[in-house]
């Protein structure tokens, strides 16, 4: 009775992985041409391609920037709300609203808000006298990267907040009270008592968000399409264009697997660095 489900899972998940992995060792294109096995040529081409490394650099900048912003504000919000006795439900609902908006919809919304000429943000800043001329949020190469980080952070801070808040809520009140009795203030309780206890939750949130941000595509495609020029062309967008604009399936597949291996290595490194050393010592003991 489980055979139909296994076949469906195989067709949806396993077959595409095997198919794309095999294609990465060929010169396979969507247009007509002789299909040939070329070994590691696609992988060598990627490691010697300046465009590939440029997209990796841009992706890392967006990833690091977004993660710093998301975890800073998520920790701040979760630390504040967990100590509020009344109105927690309303505040949590308000903070989770951005997470309910689809990334493409959020991208379109901010595309209008950040428009150079009639965008709402420029209008507000001008009316407050903060700026005298329009800021090119999406057409200036340096500012465009910051705009993308902001949009991604706006949409995903609620997700990180939800994980951290859940972890903080599970911390025993007795532990917190013990800290207060010992004379610790709220910041000391948060950073020296609560955060070490929910460290596994923080690591999980960090790994999930890293993998999610590193493959960012939809927000960039809607906001800038990789522009101006290639200033915001992420690795996922480069792979998309290589596959569907240049029809080079083999090379796009190779870059996809390089991206996958890199994500796995970084995720394992984060988990290794954040492992609980005290528990490991106890188990060995």
Predicted confidence (pLDDT) per residue in 38-51, tens digit: 999 999 999 999 99
Residue 268 C-alpha from the chain's centroid: 16
Residue 124 has pLDDT above 70, yes or no: yes
138 near 55, Cβ under 8 Å?
no
> In this structure, how many other beta carbons lie within 10 angstroms of the beta carbon of residue 169?
12
Residue 281 has pLDDT above 80, yes or no: no
CA-CA-CA-CA torsion sign (99, 103, 109, 114): positive
Average pLDDT value for residue range 98-107: 86
Rounded to whole angstroms, the Cα distance separating 203 from 60 reads 19
Per DSSP, the residues of the chain read --HHHHHHHIIIIIHHHHHHHHHTTB--BSSS----B-TTHHHHHHHT-HHHHHHHHHHHHHHHHHHHHHHHHHHHHHHHHTT--SSHHHHHHHHHGGGGS-HHHHHHHHHHHT-TTT-HHHHHHHHTTS-SS---TTTSHHHHHHHHHHHHHHHHHHHHHHHHHHHHHTS-HHHHHHHHHTT--HHHHIIIIIHHHTHHHHHHHHHHHHHHHHT--HHHHHHTTT-STTTT--HHHHHHHHHHTS-BHHHHHHHHHHHHHHHHHHHHHHHHHTS-HHHHHHHH-
Q: Which of the four pLDDT bands, split at 50, 70 and 90, describes residue 104? A: confident
Mean pLDDT taken over the chain: 87
Average pLDDT value for residue range 6-13: 82
> pTM of this prediction?
0.89
Residue 191 in tokens: 């950073």
Closest by Cα among 261, 253, 258 to 38:
253
Cα distance between the two ends of the chain? 47
Rounded to whole angstroms, the Cα distance separating 169 from 177 reads 14
Please tell me the predicted confidence (pLDDT) of residue 285.
53
More confident residue, 32 or 110: 110
Q: Which of the four pLDDT bands, split at 50, 70 and 90, describes residue 272? A: confident
Partners of 37 in the β-ladder: 26
Residue 277 has pLDDT above 60, yes or no: no
Cα-based angle 156, 158, 162 (whole degrees, multiple of 5): 125
Please tell me the predicted confidence (pLDDT) of residue 68.
94
Torsional class of 169: left (φ above 0), alpha (ψ -120 to 50), beta (otherwise): alpha
């Amino acid at each position: 009775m489980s055979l139909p489900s296994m076949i469906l899972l195989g067709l949806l998940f396993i077959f595409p992985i095997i198919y794309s992995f095999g294609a990465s060792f060929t010169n396979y294109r969507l247009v007509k041409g002789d299909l040939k096995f070329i070994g590691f040529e696609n992988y060598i081409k990627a490691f010697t391609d300046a465009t590939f490394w440029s997209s990796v650099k841009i992706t890392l900048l967006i990833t690091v920037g977004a993660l710093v912003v998301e975890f800073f504000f998520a920790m701040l919000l979760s630390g504040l709300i967990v100590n509020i006795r009344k109105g927690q439900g309303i505040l949590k609902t308000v903070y989770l609203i951005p997470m309910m908006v689809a990334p493409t919809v959020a991208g379109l919304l901010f595309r209008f808000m950040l428009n150079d000429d009639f965008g709402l943000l420029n209008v507000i800043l001008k009316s407050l006298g903060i700026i005298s001329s329009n800021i090119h949020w999406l057409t200036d190469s340096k500012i465009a990267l910051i705009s993308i980080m902001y949009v991604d952070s706006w949409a995903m801070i609620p997700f990180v907040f939800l994980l951290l808040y859940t972890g903080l809520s599970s911390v025993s009140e007795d532990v917190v009270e013990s800290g207060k009795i010992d004379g610790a203030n709220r910041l000391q309780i948060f950073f020296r008592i609560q955060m070490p206890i929910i460290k596994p939750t923080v690591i999980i949130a960090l790994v999930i968000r890293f993998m999610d941000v590193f493959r960012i595509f939809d927000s960039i495609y809607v906001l800038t399409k990789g522009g101006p020029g290639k200033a915001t062309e992420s690795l996922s967008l480069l792979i998309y264009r290589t596959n569907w604009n240049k029809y080079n399936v083999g090379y796009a597949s190779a870059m996809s697997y390089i991206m996958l291996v890199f994500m796995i290595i970084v995720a394992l490194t984060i988990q290794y660095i954040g492992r609980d050393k005290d528990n490991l010592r106890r188990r060995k003991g």
